[in-house]
Structure 1
Amino acid sequence: MKWLGRRESDNVEDRRTLSGGKVAVGGGIIGIIILLINTFGGQNAQQLTPILEQLQGSQTTQTESGIPLSKEDEEMGKFVRVILADNEDVWSKIFTENGEVYKNPKLVLFRDGVQTACGGASSASGPFYCPEDQKVYIDLGFFDELKSKFGAKGGDFAIAYVIAHEIGHHVQTLLGTSTKMRQAQEGKSEADANKLSVALELQADFYAGVWTNRNQKTNNVLEVGDIEEALSAANAVGDDAIQSKMQGQVVPDSFTHGTSKQRMYWFKKGYETGDIKQGNTFSEIQ
């Protein structure tokens, strides 16, 4: 992705010189895996869950870690600021076109653990969005694990896709979609509530695709292989891919984020259309 020398957002909080110690997992990849394993049950689950839970701990306060940022860390921080700036520009324009006002979220970079308005989270949580403070939280070490543990290709645009997905959740918060989804889950069975959660996640993937389309038209930033990097990341974090790798079996009723095929489909649809109005992922579960 072509990003050097371009505008950087001022809405990034870099907390990578702080250490959160051991904190409670607040969601994301490992949290999802634990949830899926506990839902599935069985002897293999009993053996694996304690291992994953070692990644969790008790909530604590962040302190100075004394670890300075390397040149690579600084470079990654600049890249994240450019990606966030691109999201700000694209979504501000889309909201204006639809008679709405876009409010920029904050993006927090951290190591090890972090305190949020949604509670404490460890780096094992993976990137996540907290609607309570309207901030995206990312430990960039996640992307090394995405490549080494889950088979994604890696690359800078895989990072851009994940950031855009989390910003998609911010868009859903501003539009009221997230609140409506939570209200719709009330009184539903666990399986039906999970279907609504899947629809929300797939729509965030769609929004990431819309952002990619609009950003490319404006800034011409894509390079050969960028879209493949995003699709590879989407494929790697599908519920079926994670369950198959971690459990050896797939349990569709426990899906909360969608299959690899679904996640790639909705990202591609957003990228190909660039039209926010074509992302009604909830229509598939009616």
Structure 2
Amino acid sequence: MTFNPNARTNPNRMTTGGKGSGAKVAVGGGGLGALIILALVLLTGGDPSQIPGLSGGDGGAPAGVGGPDVSHCITGEAANEDINCRIGATAESLDQIWSELLPSVGMRYTPPGVHLFTGSVSTACGMATSAVGPFYCPADETTYYDTDFFRVLSDQFGASTGPLTQQYVVAHEFGHHIQHLLGDLRKAQTDPRGPESGAVRVELQADCFAGIWAHFADKTPTPGSSEPFLLPLTERDIADALSAAEAVGDDRIQESTTGQVNPESWTHGSSAQRQQWFLTGYRSGSIGACDTFAADLG
């Protein structure tokens, strides 16, 4: 998916920083392999304070050291060239779409924070390192991204390197924020594991919400303009998103890392389920179509 090169974007939509001052984060043992597994399990969001091996935080604001420079992220052209700018521009597109959609279900949209970090970051959910991957913290209503993770996703698990692979992840994290606003995010904590668990249903709904964004992304104009942020989607764009959804399926991760598949330990859903629910949102553009809590996942 390509941004309209002439679209104007706002670098202030993002905050940056991350290493902080000597912060130490316990992510558990096992070396790099364990960190990659943890990162992929957490790719599509959640509360780091609920994940074994992450340290508790003091609830402070994100550290302001070590993040990328995003001052040049002022056009769609920059978003096409720089992944950090792409995250910010995708966030602005998501803001526009969800601010128009949520009133249809009686809710007002409030934008989540978008924070880029390097190394580690302090959040209201605790401390996290870049090994965690992108995540959403409901306590401070902020999405967090270390863009090095996308390289791991591609190199280690075969996801496409196309732009919509990355934008799918951003849209999914925003999906968790929408769930937080709707009051559904907590269902992952009360029923955290298993092929039909609340956790899996929460993650699949966030995939469906990401598909809704893709449905509208090339049709919704930027504020004050008749042109959308993004040029029309292609079949390759959708294939990129499906590649990312496949790469982070619980069965795919388990098979790649242990050689076995155990559905009773699933927290995010299978590759096929994740692809299916993204396509459900993409084809329908309907919040109502994303009711994974009433769906038969068998």
TM-score using structure 1 length: 0.80
Query: Residue 8 of structure 1: CA displacement?
Result: 2.3
Q: Whose helix proportion is higher, 1 or 2?
A: 1
Report the CA distance shift for 1:32/1:140 in structure 2 as closer, same or farther (over 3 A): closer
Q: Which residue of 1 aligns with 2:128?
A: 121
195, 200, 207: which one aligns with 2:197? 195
CA distance in structure 2 between the partners assigned to 1:256 and 1:250 by the alignment: 13
CA distance in structure 2 between the partners assigned to 1:151 and 1:126 by the alignment: 16
CA distance in structure 2 between the partners assigned to 1:63 and 1:82 by the alignment: 21
Query: Residue 25 of structure 1: CA displacement?
Result: 4.4
Aligned residues: 262
User: For residues 1-286 of structure 1, what are the structure 2 equivalents within 5 Å?
Assistant: 1-3=1-3, 4-9=5-10, 10-15=12-17, 22-25=24-27, 30-31=37-38, 62=63, 64-65=65-66, 75-183=82-190, 185=191, 191=194, 195-218=197-220, 219=228, 221=231, 222-284=233-295
Runs of 4+ in 1 over 6 A off after TM superposition: 32-35, 55-61, 66-74
2:185 is paired with a residue whose SS is helix
CA distance in structure 2 between the partners assigned to 1:127 and 1:256 by the alignment: 16
CA-to-partner distance for each residue in 1:106-125, whole Å, 9 max, x for gaps?
11101111111000111110
CA-to-partner distance for each residue in 1:16-60, whole Å, 9 max, x for gaps?
68677542449x96326789xxxxxxxxxxxxxxxxx9x978979
Worse-matched range after superposition: 209-218 or 124-133: 209-218
Worse-matched range after superposition: 231-240 or 171-180: 171-180
Report the CA distance shift for 1:181/1:237 in structure 2 as closer, same or farther (over 3 A): closer
CA distance in structure 2 between the partners assigned to 1:66 and 1:271 by the alignment: 32
Which ranges of structure 1 fall in alignment gaps of 5 or more residues?
36-52
2:110 is paired with a residue whose SS is coil
Q: CA contact under 8 A between 1:181 and 1:197: conserved in structure 2?
A: yes
CA-to-partner distance for each residue in 1:139-159, whole Å, 9 max, x for gaps?
000110100001111111111
TM-score using structure 2 length: 0.77
1:281 is paired with a residue whose SS is coil
Which ranges of structure 2 fall in alignment gaps of 5 or more residues?
29-34, 43-51, 73-77, 221-227
CA RMSD of aligned residues (A): 3.4
CA distance in structure 1 between the partners assigned to 2:36 and 2:268 by the alignment: 10
CA distance in structure 2 between the partners assigned to 1:58 and 1:251 by the alignment: 29
